Amino acid sequence: MERSTVTNLLICLFMVFLLWMPKGLLRAEDSGYVLADGKLTILTTEGFGKWKDVNPKTKLSVTKIKIAEGIRNIPTYSFRELVCLQSVELPVSLETIGGAAFFRCQRLSRVRFPANSNLKVIGAHAFRETGLESVSIPVSVKEIRNSAFRECGRLSSVIFPEKGALEIIGEWGFSQTPLGSVSIPASVRDIKKAAFLECRHLSSLKFSQGIGLKKINAGVFSLTALDSVEIPESVRVIEERAFSYCRRLQSVTFSGFELEEIGSFAFAEAALRSVFIPASVQKIGSLAFLDCKRLRSLSFAEDANLGSMGKAAFYGTGVRFVQIPSSLAVIDAGVFSHSRVRFVYIPESVVAIEKSAFSYTRLETVLIPKSVKLIGDKAFYNCSRLKKVEFASFNAPEKFGKDVFDMCLSLTAIYIPKEGKGYRSSNWEKYERFIKE
Question: H or E element: which one contains 39?
Answer: strand 39-42
Ranges of beta strands (E only) in 190-234 are 190-191, 204-207, 215-216, 228-231
pLDDT score, position 426:
87
Interval 67-85 mean pLDDT: 97
Tens digits of residue pLDDT in 375-415: 999 999 999 999 999 999 999 999 999 999 999 999 999 99
Tens digits of residue pLDDT in 180-214: 999 999 999 999 999 999 999 999 999 999 999 99
Interval 16-30 mean pLDDT: 42
Q: How confident is the model at residue 179 (pLDDT cuts 50, 70, 90)?
A: very high
Q: Which CATH number fits domain 321-437: 3.40.1210.10, 3.40.630.10, 3.80.10.10, 3.40.50.300?
A: 3.80.10.10
Tens digits of residue pLDDT in 363-372: 999 999 999 9
Cα distance between residue 25 and residue 163, in whole Å: 43
Cα distance between residue 126 and residue 150, in whole Å: 9
Please say whether the beta carbons of 232 and 213 come within 8 A.
yes
Interval 88-113 mean pLDDT: 98
Q: How confident is the model at residue 258 (pLDDT cuts 50, 70, 90)?
A: very high
Q: How confident is the model at residue 333 (pLDDT cuts 50, 70, 90)?
A: very high
Average pLDDT, the chain: 93
pLDDT score, position 28:
53
Interval 118-140 mean pLDDT: 98
pLDDT score, position 256:
78
Closest by Cα among 318, 390, 327, 382 to 356: 382
Whether residue 29 has pLDDT greater than 60: no
Cα distance between residue 26 and residue 35, in whole Å: 12
pLDDT score, position 31:
81
In sequence order, what DSSP letters do the residues of 58-92 get, joined into one string? Answer: HHTT--EEEEPTT--EEPTTTTTT-TT--EEE--T
Query: Could you state, in order of their start, the residue ranges of all structural domains in the chain?
Result: 321-437
288, with CB counted inside 10 A (0-12, 13-18, 19+), is buried
